[in-house]
Amino acid sequence: MMVNDLGKILTALISVLFGLFALFVFVPDVGLVIGFISLTFGILAIIWTLRAKYSLSPGTSLRDYTNYFLFSLIFVLLFSVWDTLIMLFRWDGYFVYPKYILLIIAYLIFVFASYKILYLGKQFGFKTQVKKMNFSNEKKKKR
């Protein structure tokens, strides 16, 4: 089984290297290559986040936080799409502003999600539990 996994990893690595090579050969602008690579990773992150979301129980806090993360990823991806389009078509002027708006929205969602996580931590008192766990670990070390 381990050899099978190694083969899959090696095949994936070779595929990625050939894909990167093809991008650099066929797309002369390095900025566009980086844009396309960013889009690829963004789409992959969204796919994995969706898979993670649907593997979690409905109605749980973790699934809700996964939604916030997913929305943030979507806006970061939209930012990358817009930025790549700007480079591809050499847009300037007012076409530049929407990418900043998309990035601001992504950060606002991250801020909201961070606040919700902070509130959850205070609500369930994880800090005191961690202190108790560290205290008991120190007792064990002294014995």
For the chain, 143 residues long, give each residue's pLDDT as a single digit of tens: 566 788 888 888 898 888 888 888 888 888 888 898 899 899 999 999 999 999 999 998 889 899 999 999 999 999 999 999 999 999 999 999 999 999 999 999 999 999 988 887 777 776 666 677 775 555 556 65
Residues 6+ apart with CB under 8 A from 37: 20, 23
User: What are residue 128's phi and psi, to 5 degrees?
Assistant: -70, -35
pLDDT at residue 24 in the model? 81
pLDDT score, position 130: 66
Rounded CA separation 41/26 (Å): 19
Residue ranges per structural domain of the chain: 28-137
Tokens of 40: 């690829």
Which of helix, strand or coil describes residue 92? coil
Would you say the pTM of this structure is higher than 0.85?
no
